Amino acid sequence: MKWALALTLALAGVARADGLAQLGEGAPAYVVLRPLSLIGALKRLGTDELPEVRNLRAQLGGIDPLNPQLLEPSGIDINAPMVASLFELEPGGKRYHARLVLSVRDRDALLRLTTMAARGGVTPVVAGSRAAKLGVAATIVLPNDAGTGVLRLEGATAIIDLVLPIDPKGTQATAEQIALGHPFTPKHPFSADKGARRLFTPSAALALYVDGRKLDALFGALSKDTRGPASCAAEWKRAPGAFDDLALALASDPAGLELTLAWGTQGGVPLGGLRFHPVDDGALDVALLGRTAPAVAALYAASLQPFQGLKRAGVLASASTLSASVVRCGATAWGQLVVRAWPQAIGALISEGKSYSFGADVGRQSALRVANLVRNVTLALRDEAAGVPRWAAGGTFAPSAGSLVELFFGASGAEGHPLPLGKRTPTVYRVENEGVSAAIETLPSGPVAITVGDSEDSLSWAYRTATLMPGQAPAVAAPTPLLALFFDGVQLAQLVPALKLGAQQERTVRELLLRLRRVDGQVIADRDLFRLTVRAPVKQ
């Protein structure tokens, strides 16, 4: 919508560190932006040297679009954060409200910036008028009468409130109505101490937040054409969700950059009752693989039981009801799934899969039963030879999976032989029709371990273990995450040609990977927060 575009264009400024206290509860979306930190993070990633940015700089006559000094004439304190609330539905359901909070150095310069953003629709209020007595410094009329707003200044803080009618022909709000309906200090300030709101930290260069309990207002503001039938909102509102909110944050510190995607809960049972018990069976040295391989992913809570145990009802009762709702409700269903209910969707799909009949196919029946007993999963990319990737994948399973594994490989027709790999001697099978080798053994702790690779040589590579140097103390064991990720940008850059990208895209991807050098990530469930955190030690 045009008013949302105008507000987005206004996000060139920033606000005081306590700006969140000037936002009220009730909006479906919130933003925190620290332009100076964000520009620094982008430059650390090397985005200013990407071909696209270099071309833009040339088109601007050599002006660097990532130069923070470009924001100086705005009158806004570029060293402070900016905060905004978006798409809040006013009482009565006829108007939307948005608030932008800024920290100001030069009031006159800010008025000029606001005038440009609103295409000249900014008018200073008359001294002594009722609006002036309510603290309004200027009124705002958005282009094409999309909405109205007010600018208020108090000390070094500026607040811009925008209000627009849902019906384009609806009555516009007056400056007095906006000032009275949305006081400078809200009665119920936004609280960032629970769930995904915890991502609003001082180190966040950019944080985006969506309240899943108010998705109706968000979708209604963005596009009425994607909401689906009116019954969809009611159906999904009744459907149980594991989460209440979703946030994405980019943080920058001297050690590097950190990107976090998190789901959280604001009340009730944390994470909707979703509980994981990650355990590392130690079948492979994932830490060593993570330091040496181009890419590694390790799942330590592979059991699907946490998803199966969640409460499901309504559109989430089964895979068929879920599928029908997604087709009928479109963005409403997808939005609810992404923000609130994807764990219940996984549970519904699992339940549907368990009832699926494989007939007399013993091999596939065994594979499904083994999958239900999985504990750990590790995937590792080794390199490429003659254009073909070399890899290894490992998994551990409950002890009862042993007989099923033998049945599975027996059905494949492969014959096993013992093969010493380091200090261990698993039974190795070569499945010719699949072109893979598999090592199978029972670990001392009880679980059954299966490691599959493109060759026995890759199995030997995957079985390597780290050796401590004399006098070196063992590393302190960190809490086991649900999922661990490792990427080596330098090694991955060498594999980019295998993706068959265009010359320009290949160069861009290679430069970004070389700049990142290394990326480590993990997924953890922390009280009322389920989050994926990815770190890159990018140099200053």
The pLDDT tens digits along the chain (540 residues) read: 444 434 443 333 333 345 889 999 999 999 999 988 888 888 887 777 777 778 888 887 877 877 777 777 777 888 889 999 999 999 888 899 999 999 888 877 777 777 666 666 788 888 899 999 999 998 988 888 889 999 999 888 999 999 999 887 888 999 999 999 999 999 999 999 999 999 999 889 999 999 999 988 887 776 655 445 678 888 888 899 999 999 999 998 888 899 999 999 999 999 999 999 999 999 999 999 999 999 999 999 888 888 988 989 999 999 899 999 999 988 889 999 999 999 999 988 877 655 444 444 554 555 556 666 889 999 999 988 877 889 999 999 988 877 777 777 766 677 888 999 888 999 998 887 778 899 999 999 999 999 999 999 999 999 999 876 676 666 667 789 999 999 998 898 888 887 778 888 888 888 888 877 889 999 999 899 999 999 988 765
Bridge pairing between strands 136-141 and 148-154: antiparallel
Beta carbons within 8 Å of 25's beta carbon, 6+ residues apart:
186, 188, 189, 190, 191
Q: Answer for the pair 274, 310: CB distance below 8 angstroms, yes or no.
A: yes
Q: Answer for the pair 13, 113: CB distance below 8 angstroms, yes or no.
A: yes
Beta carbons within 8 Å of 53's beta carbon, 6+ residues apart:
47, 65, 66
Tokens 């606000």 map to which residue?
15
Q: Answer for the pair 315, 236: CB distance below 8 angstroms, yes or no.
A: yes
Would you state the structure tokens that stand for residue 185, as one six-digit string? Answer: 């200090």
* pLDDT tens-digit readout, 474-533: 666 778 999 999 999 889 888 888 777 888 888 888 888 887 788 999 999 989 999 999
Three-class secondary structure of residue 424 per DSSP: strand
Instruction: From 357, 395, 397, 355, select the one nearest 378 (Cα to Cα).
Output: 395
Instruction: From 305, 481, 300, select the one nearest 396 (Cα to Cα).
Output: 300
Instruction: From 283, 300, 278, 277, select the one nearest 446 (Cα to Cα).
Output: 283
Domain boundaries defined on the chain:
2-191, 204-275+305-354, 286-303+372-536
CA dihedral 480, 368, 396, 525 (to 10 degrees): 0
Instruction: From 439, 433, 396, 397, select the one nearest 412 (Cα to Cα).
Output: 433
Give rounded-to-5 percent helix, strand, coil for the chain: 40, 30, 35
What's the gap between Cα 50 and its chain centre? 24
Q: Answer for the pair 160, 151: CB distance below 8 angstroms, yes or no.
A: yes
C-alpha separations of 531 from 69, 204, 264, 278, 282 in Å: 35, 15, 8, 15, 24
| Residue 30: per-residue pLDDT | 97
Does the global pTM surpass 0.95? no
Q: Answer for the pair 343, 523: CB distance below 8 angstroms, yes or no.
A: no
Helix boundaries (H) for 298-401: 305-308, 319-329, 331-336, 342-354, 362-371
Q: Answer for the pair 301, 494: CB distance below 8 angstroms, yes or no.
A: no
Indicate the length of the chain as a whole number. Answer: 540
Beta bridge partners of 112: none
Beta bridge partners of 33: 82, 206
| Residue 353: per-residue pLDDT | 55
* pLDDT tens-digit readout, 42-101: 888 777 777 777 888 888 787 787 777 777 777 788 888 999 999 999 988 889 999 999
| Residue 12: per-residue pLDDT | 35
Q: Tell me 287's DSSP state.
A: H
Tokens 């997924």 map to which residue?
523
Instruction: From 158, 267, 332, 281, select the one nearest 527 (Cα to Cα).
Output: 267
What's the gap between Cα 70 and its chain centre? 30
| Residue 2: per-residue pLDDT | 40
Q: Answer for the pair 139, 123: CB distance below 8 angstroms, yes or no.
A: yes
Rg of the chain taking only CA atoms, in angstroms: 28
Beta bridge partners of 389: 384
How many angstroms separate the CA atoms of 517 and 539, rounded? 10
Q: Answer for the pair 438, 391: CB distance below 8 angstroms, yes or no.
A: no
| Residue 170: per-residue pLDDT | 83
Q: What are phi and psi of 40, to 5 degrees?
A: -60, -40
Cα distance from N-terminal residue to C-terminal residue, the chain: 38
Q: How many CB atoms lie within 10 A of CB 326?
A: 17
- Give the burial string for 405-425 (b: 16+ CB within 10 Å, else e): bebbbeeeebebeebebeeee
